């Protein structure tokens, strides 16, 4: 396994920079970093912790980086848990495949077939994700920004990343985003005047809580 390479700081930046010609070696061009940031929003940070727990359980090998942080190695990718972040890096296809697999497990944990045998949500999941009927409303990481509510460039109210795809917080998608100082994200009716926006990375992480 290779050590973490110095390429780009997130999948979003990766997308934004993809059009720029690069003559570095092909391994660097093909490398993606997805960084899940500690934000201070409990729902988000619990989601990141839960995501790490699952990733750690799936690692082919376990190791440490140069400063002693735990690293999980996978085919074509690796995950590093740091004090303030969880980073998944590697070949783009391998990184996205890991995230897709995590989402699949999350969907399965929320699923409870209806009496007629159709796909459905457990009663607890229906209470949290109000208005949803199946786990399939949870989108794949790479597909999130292509959904209708998203805009190409904004500032995340949670992690503070700027110039990344964002959407106004969805009450049913990321329902429990209470902050330390207000209930800003709990219901869309409570939107701040400035708006409460969430980025691709944070929107993906929170449902894992
Ligand atoms: Zn964010």
Q: At what angle do helices 92-110 and 42-58 cross, to 10 degrees?
A: 110
- pLDDT (0 to 100) of residue 181: 62
Distance CA 121, CA 145 (A): 24
99 or 188, which is more confident?
Answer: 99
Work out the average pLDDT over 169-190. 63
Residue 1 CA to ligand 1 centre (angstroms):
29
Q: Rounded to the nearest whole angstrom, what is the distance from the C-alpha of residue 179 to the centroid of ligand 1?
A: 14
> What residues pair up with 35 in beta bridges, in sequence order?
87
The number of domains in the chain is 1
pLDDT digits (tens, 9 = 90+) for 59-80: 999 999 999 999 999 999 999 9
Residue 20 Cα to ligand 1 midpoint, Å, equals 24
User: Are 110 and 68 within 8 A, CB to CB?
Assistant: no
CA of 47 to the centre of ligand 1 (A): 12
State the pairing for strand pair 85-91/151-155: unpaired
| Per-residue confidence (pLDDT) for residue 157, from 0 to 100 | 87
Query: Ligand 1 center to residue 156 CA distance, Å?
Result: 5
Residue 3 lies in a domain: no
Kindly give the distance from the C-alpha atom of residue 197 to the centroid of ligand 1, in angstroms, as a whole number. Answer: 8
Query: Distance from the CA of 19 to the center of ligand 1, in angstroms?
Result: 23
Tokens of 104: 């699949």
In a domain, 47, yes or no: yes
5 part of a folded domain: no
Does residue 2 lie within any of the structural domains? no
| Cα distances (Å, whole numbers) of residue 155 to 151, 170, 193, 197 | 11, 16, 15, 7
The predicted-structure confidence for 105-145, as pLDDT tens digits, reads as follows 999 999 998 888 888 999 888 888 878 889 998 999 999 99
Task: Indicate whether 70 belongs to any domain.
Answer: yes
Residue 122: strand, helix, or coil: coil
pLDDT of residue 126: 85
The three-state secondary structure class of 121 is: strand
Structural domain includes residue 4: no
Domain residue limits at 25: 11-208
Contact of 4 with 78, CB cutoff 8 Å? yes
Cα–Cα distance, 43 to 171 (Å, whole number): 13
- Ligand 1 geometric centre to CA of 157 (Å): 7
Q: What is the pLDDT of residue 194?
A: 55
Average pLDDT, whole number, for the chain? 82
Band (21; pLDDT cuts 50, 70, 90): very low
């Amino acid at each position: 396994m290779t050590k973490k390479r110095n390429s780009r700081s997130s999948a979003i930046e990766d997308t934004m920079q993809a059009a720029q010609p690069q003559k570095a070696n092909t391994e660097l061009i093909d490398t993606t970093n997805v960084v899940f940031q500690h934000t201070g929003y409990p729902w988000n940070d619990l989601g990141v912790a839960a995501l790490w727990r699952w990733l750690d359980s799936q690692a082919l090998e376990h190791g440490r980086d140069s400063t002693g942080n735990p690293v999980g190695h996978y085919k074509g990718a690796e995950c590093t848990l740091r004090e303030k972040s969880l980073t998944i890096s590697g070949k783009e296809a391998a990184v996205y495949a890991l995230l897709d697999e995590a989402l699949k497990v999350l969907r399965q944990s929320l699923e409870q077939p209806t009496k007629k045998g159709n796909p459905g949500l457990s009663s607890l999941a229906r209470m949290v994700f109000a208005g949803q009927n199946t786990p399939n409303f949870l989108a794949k990481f790479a597909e999130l920004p292509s959904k209708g509510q998203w805009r190409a460039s904004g500032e995340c109210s949670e992690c503070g990343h700027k110039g990344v795809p964002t959407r106004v917080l969805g009450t049913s998608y990321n329902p429990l985003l209470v902050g330390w100082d207000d209930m800003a994200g709990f219901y869309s009716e409570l939107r701040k005047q400035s708006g409460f926006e969430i980025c691709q990375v944070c929107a993906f992480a929170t449902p894992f809580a």
